[in-house]
Amino acid sequence: MKTPDLSLSDLGSYFPDDFTPEQRAKAQTIFLKELAASVHKFYRGKTVTMPKAGIYGFNWFNVYYTPGVSMVSTSIRDNNDASFDLSNRGNLVAVVSDSTRVLGDGDVTPPGGLGVMEGKAFLMKYLGGVDGVALCINSYNKAGRHDPNKIIDFVRMLEPSFGAVNLEDISQPNCFKVLDTLREECDIPVWHDDAQGTASVTLAGLINALRVVGKDLNEVKIVLLGAGAANSTAARLLLADGADPDKMVVFDSKGGLHKGRDDVKADAAYYRKWEICEATNPKRLNTEEEALKGADVIIAASRPGPGTIKPEWIQSMGPKSIVFACANPVPEIYPYAAKEAGAYVVATGRGDFPNQVNNSIGFPGILKGALLVRARKITDEMAIAAAHAVADFADKKLGISPEYIMPTMQETEVFAVEAADVAMQAIKDGVARVNLTWDEVYKTTLADINEARSIIDLLQKNDFIKAPGLDMLEAARDKAVAAVK
């Protein structure tokens, strides 16, 4: 039986009309989880390796393998950069994780992250025309602790096979050491999507949210709830793009970050957090209540809710307040509740609510742009360029509003625009191996995305990718309704 189009914007129609907004929001979360479990079992994962070279008789194996391939080996031996032209390396990303901070579920054991990493590779291909390989690794040392050096060594060893590395779901403080070490020591981009990717799209969303409310980044008071990889990096990018450090307050689980936080200063592993302590919150505010009085923006990437952000906090904020509740899988406050409390623009990390601020709108285009110019790293300036590309695309192409501050994944062109802007910034920053024009990157990206989608469509039409049955959707819906009632 053919599965109907599952339009996320219409999920509410699957549930009883008498459900309250809170019941509907809870039901949507349960429904998506139940359906995910069924569909992943049906497909046994989401990705597969397929040849892209043709077979025109069995002698072609002598070309693709021995003896002909010897010429490829010696050519790369004499010039390692030839590997980008003579293999798939130039369009191949390793998605590396030790699965210690997967979505809102925390440490799920090394293989527990495979669903997310396969999902990341799936999105890379469909949204950016980039090939990805899920690599969940065991980072335990002999003492039974997660050792960042094991991740660093692993990535160093795999570097010759990939054009870039996407780090994912690595807990702090290990994530900071891993990223900062590898960014300097590797000769290919090493990108931490939970940090740089989330920070980039957060900046993009805020640029347009501020346009909607008629405020400037350098004038607004910003409160960031959560000081993990995402918000620590978001704070850095926001400051680099013009936010006022004196009007920024960042909270971790123990209170506001400021120069009086000796506990942070004493732990060298949290050096990124200490940088925020030194740069922001000169008044040394320590509670969310006092920090949010009159604030213009709250950006939360903290504990999944609902209830993490209290309605009364939003009520105390300034006029036309902006609320980003980006915890997954459940936002810190549901959008309807934030609106009821007075928020003017509300965003979450989920695609079944308006204004999805999620790294899925960022990393496919960012990585594609970096790969096409064979960048040696992805600089903060490249991430900021991506943010402005995304924000400007939504503003100029379709027009922004309180319910639309970000492009959606359905807007294919945004990834090509983003890739081109990132590539141009890489050239400007001096980290690109090759120079291409903006149009060359844009056209190549769009062609690769369309090719990937055409292949998937062809496989679906010929039933090589089989559609899950309607019974899976109905079973997931029934479980969600029963759980909420």
Which residue positions in the chain have pLDDT lower than 70?
1-12
Q: What is the 3-state secondary structure (H, E, C) of 16-36?
A: CCCCCHHHHHHHHHHHHHHHH
Sign of the Cα pseudo-torsion (296, 299, 302, 306, in order)? positive
pLDDT at 1 (0 to 100): 40
pLDDT at 17 (0 to 100): 84
Q: Residue ranges per domain, the chain?
A: 60-188, 194-436
Q: Model confidence over 393-419: pLDDT tens digits?
A: 999 987 899 999 999 989 999 999 999
Fold agreement (60-188, 194-436): yes
CA distances from 41 to 186, 461, 483 (A): 37, 21, 22
User: What SS3 class is residue 131?
Assistant: strand
> Would you mind telling me the total number of residues written for the chain in this entry?
485
**Is residue 31 within 8 Å of residue 473, measured between CB atoms?**
no
User: What SS3 class is residue 355?
Assistant: coil
Backbone angles phi, psi at 213, to 5 degrees: -90, -5
- 3.40.50.300, 3.40.30.10, 1.20.1060.10, 3.40.50.10380: which CATH number matches 60-188? 3.40.50.10380
Q: Model confidence over 405-455: pLDDT tens digits?
A: 999 989 999 999 999 999 999 999 999 999 999 999 999 999 999 999 999
Q: Where are the alpha helices (DSSP H) in 285-411?
A: 288-292, 311-315, 335-340, 363-372, 380-393
Residues forming the active site? 65, 120
The CATH H-level (homologous superfamily) assignment of domain 194-436 is NAD(P)-binding Rossmann-like Domain (3.40.50.720)
pLDDT at 10 (0 to 100): 62
pLDDT at 455 (0 to 100): 96
Q: Which contacts (CB < 8 Å, 24+ apart) does range 392-401 have? A: 393/417, 393/418, 394/208, 395/208, 395/211, 400/208, 400/211, 400/212, 401/212
Contacts of 187 (CB under 8 A, 6+ apart): 159, 376
